[in-house]
A and B are shown apart, each in its own frame.
Chain A
C-alpha cells in the first residue's frame, strides 16, 4: 500500500499540471474546512449558509475593508458567500457523483451480470434517459420537485448516471466470462458475492477515472441550474447563484463599465478554478489508475 502511494506521488510530481490541480483542490478544501474561522457567521444566525445582508439596497457595492469582496445586489456579503459557497460546491460535487455512481453501478452491474431481459430492460431505460436533453430533464425534475439545493443534486444525479451504467455494463460483460468468475460460481458463491467480491472490484477503476473526470462537469451543471434560478434560495451561499445575482450589473455604471466587476469575476473565477482543479486532478487519477492511457 505504501509503495502504491509512493508510486502515485512520483507520478504526480512528474506532471506539474496535476500538482496544480491537487493544489487548487487542497486550497478550496482548506477554505471550506476553515469557513467558520475565516468567515464567522453572525451571532443570531440559525443557518451559517445564509449570507448576511448589509441593508437591502439594490446597488452592489465595491470591495472595501468592511466587505472584502464587496457586496452583490441587495447587499449580500460576497466574501462570506464565496467562503461558505466552497462548502456547498464540495457537497454538491461529492453527493452527486456518489449517488449517480451508485445508481450507475446498480443498474449497469445488474444489466451486465444477469444479461437477458434484465439487460435489455435496463439498457433501454438508460438509452431513453440518455436521449433526453439532460439540462431540460434536470430543469423539469427540479421544477416538479420544487427548487432547492437538494433537488438540484437529485436532478443532476438523475441525468448523470447513464454513462456510468453503460461503462460498467461493458466491463462486467467482459469480466463475467473470465475464469476466476466461473471458478467462484462453480464453488457455489452467491450472485451478490460474485458481483461484490469479484466483478465490481475488477472493473471499478475505469469507472473511478470517469467519475473523477466528471466531477467538474457536475459542478458546472449544478451551477448552471442555480444560474437559471432553480437552485438554493436567494441568499444561500452558492456560487452559481451569486453569479446570477450579477446579471443586471454587467454593464457597470455609466462611464465606468467595470464598476461592478467583482460581482462577475469573483464567483466566476471561483467556479472556474474549482472545476479546473477537479479536471487536472481527474487527469492525474487517470494516469495513475489507468496505465493504458500513459
Chain B
C-alpha cells in the first residue's frame, strides 16, 4: 500500500515538472472539437467535420475573399468569370474558366484542366445516396440525381455531364441548360467541387473517367474510395494521418504550395467529446482553440491567456420550427385523440392559418434570445440570415403578444379550438438544449393562454425522430438549416419551395412562392433577385408555414497567441472550421508590452 502511494507521489511530481516545462510552440496548432470527420473524399462527404479538414487539403476554383460572402477571388482558376470580363456568356449559360498552371498535387504531379473536368464529373456521377451531388447536378444537368426513385440508373447521365463540362485549351467550359445565378457561389463554397487528381485516383482503383466504367463507381461505399482516409490535394496542407480510433487528424505544411507556404507547420485536429477536457487543454495551453457551445460561454470567460471572439456571423437558420399541415393520423402517438375534442388535434390542425398565427404570437422571442443566446443574437426577420444578400432587416416579424395570440386562436376552426382546447406532443432531439428551450418556452406561452391548451414536450433520439418525421407524424418539428453555399436560393428552396425538403414534409405549398423562387434562381441581376426574395419572405410572414426564431452568432475560443483568424460564415461549421492558411501563432505583442 505504501509502495503504491509512493509510486503515485513520484508520478505526480514527475507530471507537474513536465507540465511546467512545456513551452509555447509556434509551429504546431492544436484544435479540439467535438466531432470527427466522416470521410475525406470531398465528393463523398456531406458534413461539417469532414469539410473542415478537406478545405485545408484540397482547393476549389474560387474562394471567398476575407469575410465576404459575395466577393470571390480565383484559386485554381486564374480569373473569376463575369459578364464584364466576357467569361460568362450573354445568355448566362456558358462559363469559361481559365485554369491556373504550375499547380502541383501533393504527390508531385501537375494539376491540369482535365483534373478539374474529372473532379466535377466525379462529383456528379458518383452521386452517393443522400449526398451532395445534386448541388452540382441541378445547375449543370438540370436534374438532381443519377438514379430515379426506384434506384434505376439514368444511363444518359455520363453523356449529359460530358456535354456540360468540357476542356477547351487551358479552360474548363461549363454549359448550363438554363442560367443559374448561384453557379459560381456553388463552385466556390461546396467542397465537392474541390479538385482531385484523376491519374492518382485511377491508379488507386477509383474511376478512370471513362463512360464504360462510370456506373461501377455510382453510389459507392464510403470506405472503398482511395481518398476516404488518404488525400492528395493541391492545398496548403498535406494529410499526415487520420486516426479514427483516437479521432484525430494530423496535417503538415505543403512546402511546395503554389502560393507562399502556410505559416503553421503542423495542425492537429482532435475530437474530444467531453467539454471539460477541451477546456482544460486550452487552459494549459495544450490546445490553441477549442469548440465551445453558447451554453458553456460562462465557463470560457476570464481564463488567463484565452480570448473569446464573439458575435461572429453564421450562415444558418437554427433552430426553426416547422408546422405539418397534414399529419399522418394512422397510429400517431403525438396527436392525442386525433380529434379536436380537447384531448388531441385533428390531422389538419395546422392547416388553419389562425392556429399558426396564434403560435407565432405566443412565442417569447426576446426571452429565448436572453436565456438561450445570452443576448448574442437578434430576432430573425425571415429565412435569409443577416450574413447573406437577400436578408431584409425591414421585413415585419412576429412579436410575443398573448393578446393577439388569443385573438387568432379564438378564430381558429370557427372558435372550436378556443372552446374545446387541444393537446399534442412536441418533440426535440435529445440533448439539444436550444431546441429543448424553444419547446418549453412555446409550451409556456401557449398554455398560459387557455387552461385547455396543452402541449407535452418530449425529447426523442435521432432514429425515432427520423422515423416519425419521415412518416409525417410530427405535428411540428424543429430542425435547423445549414447552408451549402452563400446564396438566398439555398435557403428559399428547402424552406419555402413546395418541392423543397421542408415544405414537402410539411405538405405546404404556395404557388406564388414557387414561381418567385424559380424566377430568382435564373435572374442574373442581383437587385432584382433581392426583390424577389424579399417577396418570398413576405409570403413566409403571411403564411407562417414555420417560425423563424433568431439570427444567431457563434463564438470562437482561442489562445491569445493565435493570430490571423478570418471570420467568414462560409467556412464549414463557422467559426470553428478554420482555414488554417492565414493563421499563425505569435506572442509578439505580449513581449512588446513587457
**A–B: direct contact at CB < 8 Å:** yes
- CB atoms of A248 and B367 under 8 A apart: no
Note all chain B residues with C-beta closer than 8 A to A251. Answer: 276, 279-280, 299
Note all chain A residues with C-beta closer than 8 A to B298. Answer: 58-59, 253
Note all chain A residues with C-beta closer than 8 A to B447. Answer: 44
- CB atoms of B430 and A254 under 8 A apart: no
Contact flag A250-B295 (CB < 8 Å), given A56-B371, A229-B431, A234-B459: no
- CB atoms of A147 and B433 under 8 A apart: no
- CB atoms of A74 and B437 under 8 A apart: yes
- CB atoms of B433 and A74 under 8 A apart: yes
Note all chain B residues with C-beta closer than 8 A to A182. Answer: none
- CB atoms of A56 and B280 under 8 A apart: no
- CB atoms of B301 and A254 under 8 A apart: yes
A124: CB under 8 A from chain B? Answer: no
Note all chain A residues with C-beta closer than 8 A to B461. Answer: 143, 146-147
- Docked CA distance A255–B441 (Å): 33
A247: CB under 8 A from chain B? Answer: yes
- CB atoms of B295 and A56 under 8 A apart: no
A53: CB under 8 A from chain B? Answer: yes
Note all chain B residues with C-beta closer than 8 A to A143. Answer: 461, 463
Note all chain B residues with C-beta closer than 8 A to A254. Answer: 299, 301-303
**0/1 interface trace, chain A 236-249, chain B, CB 8 Å (1 if under):** 00000000000111
- CB atoms of A229 and B441 under 8 A apart: no
Range, interface on chain B? 35 or more
- Docked CA distance A44–B454 (Å): 11
- CB atoms of B430 and A147 under 8 A apart: yes
- CB atoms of A233 and B441 under 8 A apart: no
B296: CB under 8 A from chain A? Answer: yes
Note all chain B residues with C-beta closer than 8 A to A250. Answer: 276
Note all chain B residues with C-beta closer than 8 A to A171. Answer: none
B458: CB under 8 A from chain A? Answer: yes
B275: CB under 8 A from chain A? Answer: yes
Most B CB within 10 A of own CB, among A55, A56, A248: A56
- CB atoms of B464 and A146 under 8 A apart: yes
B184: CB under 8 A from chain A? Answer: no
- Docked CA distance A146–B333 (Å): 13
A292: CB under 8 A from chain B? Answer: no
A46: CB under 8 A from chain B? Answer: yes
- CB atoms of A255 and B302 under 8 A apart: yes
- CB atoms of A234 and B280 under 8 A apart: no
Interface SS majority for chain A: loop
- CB atoms of B279 and A247 under 8 A apart: no
Note all chain A residues with C-beta closer than 8 A to B368. Answer: 56
CB distance from B363 to the nearest CB of A (A): 13
Tell me the B247-305 residues at the A interface (CB within 8 Å). Answer: 274-276, 279-280, 294-299, 301-303
- CB atoms of A234 and B436 under 8 A apart: yes
Closest to B274 in A: A247
B88: CB under 8 A from chain A? Answer: no
A196: CB under 8 A from chain B? Answer: no
CB distance from A151 to the nearest CB of B (A): 11
The answer, among A55, A58, A147, for a CB contact under 8 Å with B295, is: A58
B372: CB under 8 A from chain A? Answer: yes
Tell me the B424-454 residues at the A interface (CB within 8 Å). Answer: 430-431, 433, 436-437, 440-441, 447, 451, 454
Closest to A60 in B: B298
CB distance from B331 to the nearest CB of A (A): 14
- CB atoms of A58 and B433 under 8 A apart: yes
A57: CB under 8 A from chain B? Answer: yes
- Docked CA distance A55–B459 (Å): 19
Note all chain A residues with C-beta closer than 8 A to B458. Answer: 233
Note all chain A residues with C-beta closer than 8 A to B437. Answer: 56, 74
Note all chain A residues with C-beta closer than 8 A to B279. Answer: 251
CB distance from A73 to the nearest CB of B (A): 7
Note all chain B residues with C-beta closer than 8 A to A59. Answer: 298
Note all chain A residues with C-beta closer than 8 A to B276. Answer: 247-248, 250-251
Contact flag A229-B430 (CB < 8 Å), given A46-B454, A143-B463, A250-B276: yes
- CB atoms of B371 and A57 under 8 A apart: yes
Note all chain A residues with C-beta closer than 8 A to B301. Answer: 254
- Docked CA distance A253–B461 (Å): 31
Note all chain B residues with C-beta closer than 8 A to A255. Answer: 302
Note all chain B residues with C-beta closer than 8 A to A147. Answer: 430, 459, 461
- Docked CA distance A46–B433 (Å): 22
**0/1 interface trace, chain A 133-154, chain B, CB 8 Å (1 if under):** 0000000000100110000000
**0/1 interface trace, chain A 37-64, chain B, CB 8 Å (1 if under):** 0000000101000000101111100000
Note all chain B residues with C-beta closer than 8 A to A74. Answer: 433, 436-437
CB distance from A259 to the nearest CB of B (A): 9
The answer, among B296, B371, B459, for a CB contact under 8 Å with A248, is: B296
- Docked CA distance A254–B440 (Å): 30
Q: Which 3 A-B pairs have the closest CB atoms?
A: A56-B371, A58-B295, A56-B437
A-B contact pairs, 18 of them (CB 8 A): A55-B371, A56-B368, A56-B371, A56-B372, A56-B441, A58-B294, A58-B296, A73-B433, A146-B461, A147-B461, A229-B431, A233-B459, A234-B430, A234-B431, A248-B275, A250-B276, A253-B298, A253-B299
Given contacts A57-B374, A143-B461, A247-B274, 6 further A-B contacts (CB under 8 A): A146-B460, A233-B457, A234-B431, A247-B275, A248-B295, A248-B296
